[in-house]
Structure 1
Amino acid sequence: MQVCQLEHQLFDHFFPSSSTDSSSLAPLIDPLCTYLYDTLRPKIIHEASLDPLCELVDILKVEVIGEQLSRRGESLAGLRPTLLRILADIHERLTFCARTYIRDEIANYRPGDEDLDYPAKLERAAQSATEESGGNKSDVVNSWYPPLEKTISCLSKLYRCLEPAVFTGLAQEAVEFCTISIQNASKSIAKRASSMDSQLFLIKYFLILREQIAPFDIEFSVTHKELDFSHLLEHLRRILRGQASLFDWSRSTSLARTFSPRVLESQIDARKELEKSLKTSCEEFIMSVTKLVVDPMLSFVTKVTAVKVALSAGNQAQKSDSLLSKPLKSQAFATPDKVAELIQKVGVAIQQDLPNVMNKMKLYLQNPSTRMILFKPIKTNIVEAHVQLQSLVKSEYSSEEMQTIGMVSIQDLQAQLDNLI
């Protein structure tokens, strides 16, 4: 830049009448720029790390082209094409290295025992945070599942360095592969720990991933185009059977049409797929906790429904040959003592199992509002199961039998559940 500026000053001094035409200096400036480009290009194409490439983009775009060229104006006009060419090479190399990084470090990441040591890993982190009276943001990020940390780190570096269209494609790939990697890890955790740890692992990191990609002002969707030759075989079969002619150019089975592929387009939106996976994970967790607590009630209501359906069918032979003709409380599974037993079992689950679930939720999900959102449908399901059973008990059992059964009031149940939050 100094050489170009000095040459421009000399040219302006000796040939003032031609100094306004920058092309007059081209025979001198172009070879100098070529030397610069030939010197830098080998270094650029051999750079494999994202950080230096991102720094180079920032230096060229902001400091050199944005500031120096704008300030020095016409004296550096001859250098601009070369600088833009260098910047294009850096962009190309950065895109290639980013795709390689996404493939190797995210899509093909192989977790070790430490990566899958849940919930122990979170318990150690919580203990460490308590001893140190809190932790900084970098400590939290470093505790994330590695592909997630690598995804967010990679996208944060690339966001300001690449064109929006290029960044969108890379971001879509990174988020898609990160989502798959988290799902695969959760399957391993289910085998090593429990299904509940697996579900909470998914919810935890899907929520973090959704939160972290929100600031990127792009659409995480790309359109894939592919050629479809699936119709080719059927055309060839028709020709071989004599149902169509290979040389009949007037029909749809002509040679040109037969061998002409269809173009299929499909759009993949990584953000929407992430939302769908998060929703599914939350629903599975909610249902598993509901089943853990009130499964005896749900099973009982299901049996009662089956009995009533059989009775209402009017099959007299079946009635005479089975216990279905007896009142519900005469059924072996529905005696007052049996109902009291299942209510007691559910009560124990609410007092013992549900607090353990809440503690595990606190371990995985630090945000109280997130836990509240997740617990609300669980609470609703538990209350609804009690309401169904109470309605059934009131219609089928006497007052004395209801006292033996010992149903808890819905108001007391709701208060008990609220105290768990």
Structure 2
Amino acid sequence: MWQPDTNTTCKCDPAGRATCDTRLTAAEYDERAAATQTGHGDCAAGDSWEEPETCSKCACLDDGLWYYSPADLHGMCTDSAAHICSASSLRDAQLFEVKHLLILREQIAPFHVDFSVREISLDLSKIKTAAMGLVQRRSQLFALNSSNALLEFLLEGTPAVQEHTRDSKREVDLQLKRVCEAFIRGTQQLLQQPVHSVILRIEAVLESAPDQPLPPAETVAAAVTETQRLIKTHLPDIQQSMQLYLANRETEFILFKPVKVGLLQRFQRLQDIIMQQYSDDDRMIIMCPSQDQVSVLVSSCMQPAPS
């Protein structure tokens, strides 16, 4: 959150450097240092900050300035995630962004201040329309009446000043929510796509063409088998990525819980359809697992977190 300044230092301790996280510009440091020289003569500006340390004795460093606003850090985090997505995978980018947005939210939470930022911009959309009108009415460019094309261009093509208010704290929360939801949707789609697709096919037949035959039991059984294979194949990698980026069991549990709940609900929905629409022989072919069996499968694929 703090950016070291390369122009100032404090030589209050025997090692000749400070011990705080605060950083001032050279002018601000000189001004505040001058105000405290009387009672603290060994404090002086010089050389450079080399390590993020602090001086507990020097009043000129009791407070500092934010070098980057939360909005700036939010943008940097998003840009880094986009770079990771292009260089690695979408899952890595999402987990990276979740981790650093959580850190950013934790960093700004103790500051009970208004993080709203007012931004001013120019709306130039009217200039294009006015310029086209000026070109089309070139014959009236110097007309000595109210139809003067140049005068209308100056009046109608004036840029409008617009003000926008950005709440950095709220933007961080909203972006964190969006990224978490995107990760959950993507993970659910990866793990349960075959079962989800066959459920949609069955429901489409039941709703629009009840006289048509349902997908055969062999097709449904193949979807169940493929979904179980996907869970066994991808779930350990997903957990490993979560442990790598999040490194927090509680956060990992919170983020993965909706994924697991979605899996259980899909299999429960398929089992309900099978019980209502398929014969006993078809059920034996499909062998749809119960929610408890799916839960056991998911748990068996999850490796214990390192202690």
TM-score by length of 2: 0.69
Output the CA distance in 2 between the equivalents of 1:295 and 1:229: 46
Match in the other structure for 2:97: 202
Q: Per residue, is there more helix in 1 or in 2?
A: 1
* CA deviations over 1:244-297 (Å, ceiling 9, x no partner): x87649xxx768744654221122333333333322222222122212221110
Match in the other structure for 1:221: 116
* Residue identity opposite 1:390 in structure 2: Q
Match in the other structure for 1:336: 217
Match in the other structure for 1:306: 204
Bigger mean CA deviation after superposition, 365-374 or 266-275: 266-275
Instruction: Call closer, same or farther: CA 1:311–1:50 in 2, change over 3 Å.
Output: farther
* Residue identity opposite 1:413 in structure 2: V
Kept in 2, the 8 Å contact 1:182–1:205? The answer is no
Aligned-partner SS, 2:38: helix
For the pair shown, which has the larger CA radius of gyration, 1 or 2? 1
Match in the other structure for 1:362: 243
Kept in 2, the 8 Å contact 1:172–1:222? The answer is no
1:135-150 to 2 correspondence within 5 Å?
A: none
Match in the other structure for 1:284: 182
Match of 1:414 among 271, 295, 298: 295
Match in the other structure for 1:54: 24
Instruction: Call closer, same or farther: CA 1:373–1:311 in 2, change over 3 Å.
Output: same
Instruction: Call closer, same or farther: CA 1:258–1:199 in 2, change over 3 Å.
Output: closer
Match in the other structure for 1:388: 269
Kept in 2, the 8 Å contact 1:222–1:267? The answer is yes
Structure 1 stretches of 5 or more lacking a match?
1-47, 72-86, 88-137, 139-157, 313-324, 329-333
* CA deviations over 1:3-44 (Å, ceiling 9, x no partner): xxxxxxxxxxxxxxxxxxxxxxxxxxxxxxxxxxxxxxxxxx
Shift, 1:390, TM fit: 0.7
Instruction: Call closer, same or farther: CA 1:380–1:51 in 2, change over 3 Å.
Output: farther
Output the CA distance in 1 between the equivalents of 2:78 and 2:7: 23
Shift, 1:415, TM fit: 4.5
Instruction: Call closer, same or farther: CA 1:335–1:246 in 2, change over 3 Å.
Output: farther
Structure 2 residue 35 is matched with structure 1 residue 65: yes
Output the CA distance in 2 between the equivalents of 1:400 and 1:259: 76
* CA deviations over 1:135-180 (Å, ceiling 9, x no partner): xxx9xxxxxxxxxxxxxxxxxxx99324xxxx48x41453144124
Identity of aligned residues (%): 26
Match of 2:77 among 166, 179, 194: 179
Output the CA distance in 2 between the equivalents of 1:344 and 1:255: 69
Aligned-partner SS, 1:347: helix
| Number of positions where the alignment pairs a residue of Structure 1 with one of Structure 2 | 261
Instruction: Call closer, same or farther: CA 1:338–1:228 in 2, change over 3 Å.
Output: closer
Structure 2 stretches of 5 or more lacking a match?
10-22, 46-50, 52-60
Larger RCO, structure (CA 8 Å, separation 6 or more): 2
Shift, 1:405, TM fit: 1.6
Match in the other structure for 1:231: 126
Instruction: Call closer, same or farther: CA 1:241–1:272 in 2, change over 3 Å.
Output: farther
Match in the other structure for 2:13: none
Instruction: Call closer, same or farther: CA 1:274–1:405 in 2, change over 3 Å.
Output: same
TM-score by length of 1: 0.52
CA RMSD across the alignment: 3.8
Output the CA distance in 1 between the equivalents of 2:186 and 2:237: 14
Shift, 1:377, TM fit: 0.6
Output the CA distance in 2 between the equivalents of 1:286 and 1:68: 60
Output the CA distance in 2 between the equivalents of 1:359 and 1:172: 30
1:265-280 to 2 correspondence within 5 Å?
A: 265-280=163-178
Output the CA distance in 2 between the equivalents of 1:67 and 1:384: 70
Output the CA distance in 1 between the equivalents of 2:107 and 2:258: 26
